[in-house]
Structure 1
Amino acid sequence: MRKMLGFIVALVAILAPLVPGFADGIIVPIPRPDIPGPPLRWLTIVYHHVTVTIENGVATTKVDQAFRNDGEFPVEGTYVFPLPSGAVIQEFTLWVDGEPVVGGVLPADEAREIYLSYLRQARDPALLEYIGQGAFRARIFPIEPGETRRIALEYVELLSPEGGLFRYRYPLSPERFSAKPLEEVKVEVVVKASRPVGSVYSPTHPVIVGREAPTSARALYVDKDVLPDRDFILYYSLTGEGVGLDFLAYKPDDEDGFFLVLVTPPAVRDLAPLPKDLVLVIDRSGSMEGEKMVQARDAAAFILERLTPEDRFGVVAFDHEILGLTSGLVSASAANVAAAQREVRQLTARGMTNIHESLLQAMEWLQPADRPQYVLFLTDGLPTAGKTVTDTIVRDVTAANTSRSRLFAFGVGYDVNTQLLDLLAEQNRGTTTYVVPGESLELALSSFYTKIAAPALADLALQVDGGEVSDLYPVQLPDLFYGSQLALFGRYTGSGPATIVLTGERGPEDVVLTYNVEFTAAATEASSLPRLWAARKIGHLLNLIRFKEKTEDELKPIIIELATQYGIATPYTSFLVREEERTAAYVNPLAMAVPTGPAGVGAAQATKSLAEAEAAQRADYVREVGGRVFLFVDDVWQESTYEEDTPTVNIVYLSDAYFSLLDRFPEIGPILALGEKVIFKLGTAWVRIGEGGVTELTPEVRAQFQG
């Protein structure tokens, strides 16, 4: 039996980071016997700002870093920045007493030797991440205690599309190289092209994407008080008119492949927005009193102001009684909108909460029509009037939804019944958004409406001709809206060309789009895809249990196996970490099977983030290296597929055997960079790096790595 591994990780640690092939610029200090602690921890990286401009495939990267000496002794050393392959330094600025310092670019062989010498001196395996094609190096003169040294660097590189997708990578991983967390990390990428920009996607970091013009896009990642520990990767594509489709694949050597389909509408609306029907259902029960009621009124006013004359709308307010603020579904004329806004502004909080009747009223107003139809449901509480049983409410509302309208629920605060709202949205083809105390309801609702106000395609379906695919997530495709994109993950077998057929509806018209793709037999770049796919599958399985479509006994073993293999936090896995300095008392809200309160909202948000995961988030005890997952167990970084008591080839850390192994198999450098104790598979053998074992790589030892 494989040793059952799980995780004590923060809930945001849904997906682990990539272990990079390079790392951002650091200062490697000259070792001094009078300064305690690891040399690479003698300085604090105060901030790390990166500004990238990509024009027609030429990427110019500007790096701005500040290093501070928080110790009691002067520190000097060498600033090293590993350059991406083919990159050229354009500018470097470091001021010492008002004078710039000159640096130089090292050839690959010399860079490698210097890195290995640093490794032997500092005894820090993280330096192995630096072994690359070349590097920039400059001497850093003594930094006195309390002094800060600022360094600016600029380099340029040419990006080449693969399968229509451009891939930009910035080395951002100073986790081991700063005495304290960075005050701020910021990466901003501006893409400019002669053609419209299509998909913009980061599998590694949560980015905000803005589009000021069809031929440009801006992606922004910002974090504070953090130790970044993975490279920043951004994919983008160029498209023509209409809906664009981009395709990524990753194929491990010994299993089926993984793929990602990105579907992006045009950067600008190619047709006028479709007329739509919309019913706002607003909770005005007593618990909405105060700021929540004010925000609800403001959000409703925002939405009403943005209706077009071709739209139809209705407004329902409820406590224990149902109040129609419009006479059913009415046209969005200026007079009707103004009248509804006056009614909304007069709403006050009172009474109990009759969710059942309020939603039935909304569904009664919405009759089948050749236009998108939505219910926006806003509540902060539990059903306390009328029918209050979750299954009954969901069954009745879904049955009354004869128009197949999409229901989008907004849960405000911690008193909501998350199971009820999630089921209502799930059964009525919508989504749920939770706004916790301190967040702006008005901002959440208005931002959401801005997206759905202009659907590009509804009732999407996708099929693959010429390729064998399985395990597609999300199982039910959402509508495609302008300003957003759809990410679909799946598995594939075999290889070769295939055709993806995307169908949808635009009003009364059926739309059929076809795209040619290639399922390659050896795709290695998008190594984050396996864990992104696994997170979405786990989220789907958890929802099946929550919604009682499958039993826990049926799905729990599958979830545990996936979670163990791919290093993902679930209600059924707990990861025992016994290293004292890493001990953490994290609580996993996923494990709290309650529908209400902070824990219930946290669990609902966590499951949703798994099911919709698009960016690999940070984890303290999980690392991904080239598609292989490593877990930190008992002070050892251990590959997730390792089974306890499996025989290993034991090699002493930093011994001659260690470096001989690295020379013979340079691809294991990022794995060895995990730490001084690592267990991983090499060929047909398992290797254990640590304190005990062989110190010389004899022919007998080398023979074990064949295959």
Structure 2
Amino acid sequence: MFTNPIRRCPARSHFNLLMLILFMWPAFASFADTLPRYQSGNMTLQSNDANGQAALHVLTDADVQINGVLVNVTYRQIFKNQSNGPVNGVYTFPLPDKAAVTHMTIRTGSRVIEGIIKPRQEARRLYRDAVVQGKRAALTEQQRPNLFTQQVSHIAPGESIEVTLQFLDIAEFRRGEFSWRLPTTLTPRYMPGVDMNSRESEAPATTGYADPAALFPPFILPGSGKTNPLALTISLNGGMPLTSVYALYHDIDLTRQNDKFTITLKEGHSEMDRDFVLRWLPAPSAEPVAALFTEQSGDDYFSLLMVMPPAITQPQTLPRDITFVIDTSGSMQGQSIIQAKSGLITAIDKLKDTDRFNVIAFSDRFSLMFAEANIATPPARQAARQWVNQLQAGGGTQMVPALTAAFAQNPRNERLHQVVFITDGAVGNEAELFSLISNFAGTSRLFTVGIGSAPNSYFMHKAAQAGRGTYEFIASPQDIAPQMNSLFAKLNHSAAKNIQPGWPEDAEVYPANTPDLYLNEPLLSFASTKAPVSSVTVSGETASQLWSQTLTSSDMPEGSGAGARWARQKIAHIEDEGRIGSLSEEKVKDQVTAVALQHSLLSRFTSFVAIDQSPVAYESSPRPPLRLRVANQLPQGMSHQQLQYPQTATTAELTLWLGILCIVAGLTLLFWQRIKVR
């Protein structure tokens, strides 16, 4: 006779259920452990409160002085506490990637406290001690050459603290036109393989991930209003007659007095959701060919040389392979992928019949259109257009395999190999990528095309430098045709080579190795000498001629900071030497720290700290200050759906839900069988 197993062994089901729960417990623990923490690629979205205001508000005011190519900026950040209790604020913000940050002050009421430059860890310790002691303080740190964090402590309810940075930059001169770019927000970064479980990472700067949490600030939901507005005033003295002054992506008001211009934003303030780019065009008769400036600082003399080689008219005649690499990761969704695909199709249409080409698309993985480079026949180009048009953006940003595959396309014969890399540069592992490019590019040349309203310009510049190429930016549909035309003009012409600026023998010069120059690109060279430089002769060669030119020195405009500009170039050189293995990381740290402290420069090993020595006297005894991260604006054209990148986390969530399903099934079975027994 059949016996009901539940009636016969009533404890067995309880035992099985207990074992199931115990088996699934690690999944609960693992998943619960991840709930309050960040994983690589996770972004925090922040919306305003019911009154349309963020608890901690930042207003940014930039006062810009441009003399020729020299740019001096006073950059004010006003932190305003709109909550009912005291707060400590943290703000991640971008600056131009070649900026030299030389000063920092804080203003509290009528008091101004001068910041001091210190080694990074010492500055952190001083700041934390001040916070514990109830003092107002500010700490400015570099996370990348174009990305910084500002920490401000003990902002009382309704009060403001003003932090002022001063930095130096240099305007670009390309294609007969000057330009200056001020970034205002960042594209959310993807950090392959980095555990973001600690919001406040203490990873030392020497790891290359100085503070991974700084790459993942919160972002404001679209439509939240001008939560962090930008005001901008630019005084432009081009030093020559100008025919045009305009901004690419902002409406401006322009006032002219003789050859000097004052530029402001038409609406007074702007959303900090896209780069501000100013351009000015010299009159044809006044287009600069060369300039040499010298300034004395202490016992040393610092010089800046800018020279434009003769126009390169000789077209490139060697047979050529071009490998196009297009970023289709999640950060490229929306306008960015549309612009990237349009730019790539424009480039494919410009191929010569003698060219061979291939296309690589990547996100988490990469795919090649052809197994090997194909001749650019009309059918091959049509197939490429169709292949590119079907690309969709989504996933992580795994650049290493894609770049490795691109360099592997090099035929290593008499054919040139050019790699065109189209991306927003939304990665945090820049150092790893620069090393890869330096070590594996070989005879290939890498050209970068920055996409979007807030691209990672540091990555674009340094990747192109490591790959001995150059770069362009595309931020709107109107940019596609002119920027791709400019890129292909460079691809189609031989570079100026073997350029030698004839500095004195004792000069310390940066860049130490003068790069090749592409069509319509000038040479910039910085030198430190013990005696004044009266003239310099520059020589070089193009495909059609040898050339030389002698320049006579002029005094730099007062307050130009030539020493700091030279020191910024020296720091970049030391960092490059570390990336290619010529210097150990310890020597890089020691040398960068020494240069930065001597010239009072922010770097990844030195920080500015300012402390008000009077403790804050609150009107009542409030709670301890809350630590709030100031949210950044999402880049224009980007939606909040793009922030969910693939994770480098475990399968804890999946395991949890499977466990819950099993437990529910077990409980249901137990309940049903008990009913049957009854």
TM-score range, shorter chain: 0.3 to 0.5
TM-score (structure 2 length as normaliser) = 0.43
TM-score (structure 1 length as normaliser) = 0.41
